[in-house]
Amino acid sequence: MHFQPRVAILFEGLAEIATALQRPDLAARLLGAATSWRGHGPDGSLDASAGTYGGWPRPDYFNAALRRAVTRARRQSNAKEWEVNHALGASWTSEEAMRAADAAIRELSLALDRRAVGLTEREIAVLRLVALGLSNDDIADRLTLSARTVHAHLRSIYDKLGVSTRTAAVHEATRLNLS
């Protein structure tokens, strides 16, 4: 049984952040949970009954953000992925939804930390392989790069993390949960 209907706003807000961070599967699940929480249509549409749950209206200023999150999540994934993830979120119990929200907050916080550092996805991949103890040549082979390109990525990683050694970079990768 659901409680605190306004918690749906939390799911919708997290979904908007998830879409901004290119996590459409997470966004669809969170939007599904919000849909279930509020009791509105499976496509996330806003209709006369969509803005309420047990008499609790969704404030008008949240409608634009919700529409934006739904639109982005649908654009970032294919129709099948959207339906599967949205249905999964909509099927969660209150306890499952709250655990998922906690996990989403942790996941999105880490993604924001990574973004704040400014590492690219390729740099994160290089850093993960450095954390495994691979040499530049081994990393180059795994990622189909030249050793010189790996070296350039490492210089960029060091600059962005404010470190000067592989060991310090691995320590920062661990702190940021990248490895």
User: How do residues 54-102 score in pLDDT, each as one tens digit?
Assistant: 455 666 777 787 888 899 999 999 999 999 999 999 999 888 988 999 9
Q: Which amino acid is at 101?
A: A
CB contact at 8 A, 158 and 169: yes
Q: List the beta bridge partners of residue 53.
A: 56
Same domain, residue pair 17 and 49: yes
Write down the pLDDT at residue 54: 46
Digit-coded pLDDT (tens) for 143-161: 999 999 999 999 999 999 9
Q: Are residues 25 and 93 in the same domain?
A: yes
Same structural domain for residues 65 and 19? Answer: yes
131: exposed, middle or buried (Cβ count in 10 Å: 0-12, 13-18, 19+): middle
Two tokens at 13? 């807000």
The answer to whether residue 114 scores a pLDDT higher than 80 is no
Range of the domain at 76: 7-117
101 in the same domain as 126: no
Contact 36, 54 (CB under 8 A): no
pTM reported for the whole predicted model: 0.61
Quick one: what percent of the chain has pLDDT higher than 90?
Answer: 50
Same domain, 129 and 171: yes
Residue 1, in any domain of the structure: no
| 148, 113: one domain | no
Please tell me whether residues 86 and 168 are part of one structural domain. no
The pLDDT value recorded for residue 58 is 64
Asked if 66 and 137 sit in the same domain, the reply is no
Query: The CATH number of the domain where 141 resides is what?
Result: 1.10.10.10
**Which whole-number Å values give the CA distances from 25 to 3, 49, 81, 109, 115, in the listed order?**
25, 25, 7, 17, 19
| pLDDT in the model for residue 1 | 41
Residue 56 counted as domain residue: yes
Judge if 86 and 20 occupy the same domain.
yes
CA distance 21 to 15: 10
SS3 content of the chain, % helix, strand, coil (to 5): 70, 0, 25
d(CA 161, CA 163): 6
Residue 11 structure tokens: 């799911």
Contact call for residues 9 and 90 (beta carbons, < 8 A): no
Q: Both 88 and 23 in a single domain?
A: yes
For the cut 70, the answer to whether the pLDDT of residue 166 exceeds it is yes
Q: Domain tally for the chain? A: 2
Q: Please list, residue by residue across 10-23, b when 16 or more beta carbons sit within 10 angstroms of its beta carbon and e when fewer do.
A: bbbbbbbbbbbbeb
Residue 125 lies in a domain: yes
